[in-house]
Amino acid sequence: MSDRCFLIVNPTSGGYTRRRIEEIVTSLRQRGKTPELLLTGSAADASLFARRICGEETEPFIIVGGGDGTINGVLNGLEPGKATLGILPLGTANVLARELGIRTPEDAVLKIIGGVTRTMAVGLLEAQEEKRYFSLMAGIGFDGSVVEDVRLGEKRVVGKGAYALAALRQLAAWDRELVRIRVDEREVECHSAVVCNGARYGGDFVLAPAADIFTPGFQVVCIKGSTRRTYAKLALDLLRGRGPSGAGILTLNARLLEISASKAVQVDGDYVGRGPLRITAVENFVKVIV
């Protein structure tokens, strides 16, 4: 792994301060790294920076300072199989960092210096003209509608609470349309689905215990029950540390699936559009520091 690295930082992330980033840059330099700091100025910059770096560097080493949305932006600028990625958790939920056992930016720096890596698999979502890689999950239906409805002003003030507020609004404007999911030769109907590449959801809540970011494939959580009660039970189970279960929940394992309906879609916590869509597993996508 090269000592030259690029630090892509989202200055609007909740954990960002200029002093913290200066300390991280100094710490990396003291330990023999040569970081180049790149601050994003728009949602598109993370992907643009990553694409340029992969085009110019033989062994691109990128450190991402931000939340899961910023990490997703970088993923979508990478050349598959070429880059090494380090994660600095500065976002709202930092789900990927939690999957990697990284709790703080200081913890992340120590792991970056250690240089131990594993190869991560990702998902590729194709919906109409949209193509998007994701590291954690893709959700369609209620999950996607909640993310679509998150308001930036609320997120800045109450952090993860903005998702709860959006969920309450979606519960009030209830939609009973069903989604058809095709996995291999099997087809099922459900109200919503979350295609999980990793185990965690929204922080430390374990939604898909069988999913593993280092193993190609997904655990698909299908919410078959179309009532508010089904979702309330699922939320309580997650809060209590239980996996999703019950008559209204179906879980499937898949490496390729197709989902019908024009419901809202989110990947890694960002709204990306509407279905129908196709999702495939992509192995050996990027080396990530663990």
Predicted pLDDT at 163 = 83
> In this prediction, what percent of the chain has a pLDDT beyond 90?
71
Superfamily designation of domain 4-115: Probable inorganic polyphosphate/atp-NAD kinase; domain 1 (3.40.50.10330)
pLDDT of residue 2: 75
pLDDT at 164 (0 to 100): 83
What single letter denotes the amino acid at residue 169? R
Instruction: Locate all alpha helices (DSSP H) within 203-259, ordered by sequence.
Output: 228-239
Spatial distance between the Cα atoms of 1 and 97, rounded to a whole number of angstroms: 20
* pLDDT, average across residues 82-86: 97
Mean pLDDT over residues 167-190, rounded?
A: 88
**CA atoms within a 13 Å half-sphere pointing along the CA-CB vector of 243:** 11
pLDDT value, residue 256: 96
| Domain 124-279 -> CATH class | mainly beta
User: Quick one: pLDDT at residue 249?
Assistant: 92
Q: For residue 275, how many C-alpha atoms fall within 13 Å in the half-sphere facing its CB?
A: 30
Segment 227-269, tens digit of pLDDT: 888 888 888 888 888 878 888 899 999 999 999 888 999 999 8
Every domain of the chain and the residues it spans: 4-115, 124-279
pLDDT tens digit sequence for 11-60:
999 899 999 999 999 999 999 999 999 999 998 999 999 999 999 999 99
Q: Give me the mean pLDDT over the 96-102 stretch.
A: 96
Q: What is the pLDDT of residues 198-220, one digit of tens each?
A: 999 988 899 999 999 999 999 99
Looking at residue 184, its pLDDT comes to 79
pLDDT of residue 93: 87
∠ at Cα 255 (191, 88), nearest 5°? 90
CA quadruple 264, 266, 272, 275: dihedral, nearest 10: -40
What's the confidence (pLDDT) of residue 65? 97
Query: Looking at residues 167-176, what average pLDDT do you find?
Result: 85
- Average pLDDT over the chain, rounded to whole? 92
Predicted confidence band at 166 (pLDDT cuts at 50, 70, 90)? confident
